[in-house]
Amino acid sequence: MKIAHICAYSWEIGGPPKVIYDHTEVALAEGHQVDILSPYSEGETPYPVPEGGRLLRFKRTAPISRVFREFSWPLFSYLRAHLREYDVVHCHGLWHWGALAPFMIDSPGVVKVVTVHGVLDRWAYAQSRWKKQLVDTLAQKRFLQQADLIHVITEEEREDVNHYLGTTHPNIVLIPNGVKVRDFAEMPAKDTFRHEFNIKKEQKIVLFMSRLNAKKGLDLLLPAFRQYAQQNDDAVLVLAGPDDGYAQTARQFISQYGLDDRIRMVGMIKGDLKKAALADATLFTLPSYSEGFSMACLEAMAAGTPSLLSDRVGFGESIRAYDAAQLIELTPEGVLSGLQVLLSDESRRDTVRQNARRLVTEKYDIDRLSRQLLNEYAALCAR
């Protein structure tokens, strides 16, 4: 099969590029062709592409892209010329140009797939609601109903899709996000991350590794850690991730409360340094209000880093069933209580670490999940 993924494919976007990378790697190994079509703006860093895949970048078109950020006329021109050459076109997300453009072009025989990526969650949908409702009215609901396959990553997302459409879509498949468990079989030497950022050996590391965005629960984590730091001098909070609207607020909080030596902002980290951070961290935390299916949480679990999470990271029920993380209430007090438990109780950390590894191995190994998605493609192409 010749497959096209359409998504803003850059480090700044967060989880979807990682999902696309992993699925692409398996598809290429199975002998398929894969192109990744991505709108971009100057200054963005493209996400890596597996060997054998192809990344085609199309500049966003101003001034429309200032309001409708993903709008790219070069992308639309490419699709008009080449869409019929693909067996499968897989759109990632809703309301952006790449999720709409393929449905505007007559392309009989081309299978059109949409992955929702959590954007219909009630909290997520409420953000910039008027823009989304406008696009819903103009095209998005109609186009989503026309999709040959809607890929959801949780049972709750299936319900969100049908509620959004106002009817039951005839072909929805649930395939969760996954992680390459084998990538975490060997981890960097201990203290690599500590040495890189001059963190003392005796300090426990609380690692937040995600985009600095309001939905990630930083408004809960920062005051909770401040209160913990007032009572304990044994830990440092590391905020590792690109700015997505919350970095200045975090800096002001750190400055206001004189926490420069207790909260470190290290920016986005990648590759071996990211694995080194997970290896050195005492715990990983993501008290998020809304996630489609958090790749950062899966990676932390695969790495064996004990996790302190909300149950809204996309697979809360599985986490609860396996006791694979310390789950918290979404309040500063709830986050503080979780910090106190995991930072003080090594036995509890060992329990959730072992349970988390078992969870990702049994349910979220990407090789098996990617082949399941390829089988769905093939069945649609054979109709």
115 and 74 co-located in one domain:
yes
279, 124, 114: which is closest to 207 by C-alpha? 279
Q: Answer whether 89's CB lies under 8 Å from 101's CB.
A: no
Question: How high does pLDDT run on average in the chain?
Answer: 93
CATH code where residue 33 lies: 3.40.50.2000
With 80 as the cut, is the pLDDT of residue 340 above it?
A: yes
Question: pLDDT digits over 109-126, tens only?
Answer: 999 999 998 888 777 777
50 and 143 co-located in one domain:
yes
How far CA 95 is from CA of 56, 125, 128, 331, in Å, comes to 21, 11, 11, 31
136 and 192 co-located in one domain:
no
With 90 as the cut, is the pLDDT of residue 370 above it?
A: yes
Q: What is the pLDDT of residue 229?
A: 96
Q: What is the pLDDT of residue 357?
A: 95
The whole-number average pLDDT for the span 295-315 is 94
DSSP 245-289: S-HHHHHHHHHHTT-TTTEEE-----HHHHHHHHHH-SEEEE--S
134 and 249 co-located in one domain:
no
Question: pLDDT digits over 25-82, tens only?
Answer: 999 999 999 999 999 998 888 999 999 999 999 999 988 877 777 899 999 999 999 9
With 90 as the cut, is the pLDDT of residue 13 above it?
A: no
Question: pLDDT digits over 181-220, tens only?
Answer: 888 989 999 999 999 999 999 999 999 999 999 899 999 9
191 and 169 co-located in one domain:
no
Number of domains in the chain: 2
198 and 343 co-located in one domain:
yes
Q: What is the pLDDT of residue 129?
A: 78
Q: What is d(CA 175, CA 22) in angstroms, rounded to the nearest whole number? A: 14
Coil, strand or helix at 338: helix
Q: What is the pTM of this model?
A: 0.78
Radius of gyration of the chain (CA): 21
Question: pLDDT digits over 271-283, tens only?
Answer: 899 999 999 999 9
12 and 79 co-located in one domain:
yes
63 cis-preceded (ω within 30 degrees of 0)? yes
Residue 44 CA to chain centroid, in angstroms? 18
163 and 198 co-located in one domain:
no
44 and 168 co-located in one domain:
yes
With 90 as the cut, is the pLDDT of residue 325 above it?
A: yes
Structure tokens at 230: 């007032």
Q: What is the pLDDT of residue 118?
A: 80
153 and 191 co-located in one domain:
no
Q: What is the pLDDT of residue 297?
A: 95
> What domain range includes position 143?
2-178+365-381
187 and 174 co-located in one domain:
no
31 and 171 co-located in one domain:
yes
Buried-exposed string 225-259: b where 16+ CB fall within 10 A, e elsewhere: bbbbbeeeeebbbbbbbbbbebbeebbebbeeeeb
